[in-house]
Amino acid sequence: MKFIQVLLVPLIVAAPLPAFAVSSMEERIQKTIDVLEEYGKAQGDSIPREVFHNSKGLVVMWIIKAGFIVAGEGGDGLVVIRKGKKWSHPTAISAAGAGVGFQAGGSSQDYVLLLNTEGAVEQFMQKGNYTSSAEVEGTAGPTGRELSAGVATVNAPVYTYCFTKGLFGGVSLSGLGYASADDTNENFYGERLNPREILDGKVKKTPEAVKRLWKALEELDKKPKIEGKTPTKDKKN
């Protein structure tokens, strides 16, 4: 079983399963804006504002799980990083992994990854196919209106959150391989650029969709942390 998994992961990264839809950059940006706007509305348990404000980069992606005897995972997303007080142009990525089970049908799940260190950012500036290193295996991020007393703002290179029905919960996400979506980037920007060049701002034109994404990110940066303690779920009245 484990041997089959080892073989499948690189194969799926190199050639995504046909069942996994490939999104245009415009679709990726709109999906990301939708997720960010939901986060901006959050008033209960969510990603603490301090964690978002202190992040060095952001990955938003949606993973599709397709089943039967051999289950595969694949999806699309984008990466943006902070450039001082501003944000970079987005670069498109794809993700894939494989597992063995008896699932049937398929499902889609949205994820938000906050990149907390320069090393984590560097991982997503790579070109071609690559696997996540042990350093950036997604750690379930803290949730709540504010960080609990004594909890460091950052204690992992990457914080991973699962977004479901308006709620952001910390989850562990591992075993995925990533690839730069070079064709998607070229179709969007009109020139062949690698992820590092895009994230470093070596882009000749800035499409209107990027400006909308920047506006959504800047709005979040302006938001103060949510006041009040997170309610204790197991507290009895």
pLDDT digits (tens, 9 = 90+) for 108-130: 788 899 999 999 999 899 888 77
Residue with tokens 């009109």: 190
* Structural tokens at position 73: 């995972």
23-32, 105-114, 150-159, 169-178: which has the highest mean pLDDT?
Answer: 23-32
Please report whether residue 187 resides in a domain.
yes
Please report whether residue 95 resides in a domain.
yes
Give residue 141's domain range: 2-222
Number of domains in the chain: 1
Please report whether residue 133 resides in a domain.
yes
Please report whether residue 231 resides in a domain.
no
Please report whether residue 125 resides in a domain.
yes
Please report whether residue 86 resides in a domain.
yes
Arithmetic mean of pLDDT, 124-145: 73
Nearest C-alpha neighbor of 116 from the set 82, 78, 77, 73: 82
133 band by pLDDT with thresholds 50, 70 and 90: low
Strands (E), the chain: 57-66, 70-83, 86-87, 91-100, 106-115, 129-131, 139-140, 158-164, 167-170, 177-180
Predicted confidence at residue 143, as pLDDT, reads 81
Please report whether residue 229 resides in a domain.
no
Whether residue 99 has pLDDT greater than 60? no
- What percentage of the chain exceeds 70 in pLDDT? 66
d(CA 167, CA 38): 8
Please report whether residue 113 resides in a domain.
yes
Whether residue 16 has pLDDT greater than 90? no
Predicted confidence at residue 139, as pLDDT, reads 81
Q: Considering only residues 134 and 131, tell me which one the structure prediction assigns the higher pLDDT.
A: 131
Count CB-CB contacts under 10 A for residue 103. 15
Query: Whole-model pTM?
Result: 0.78
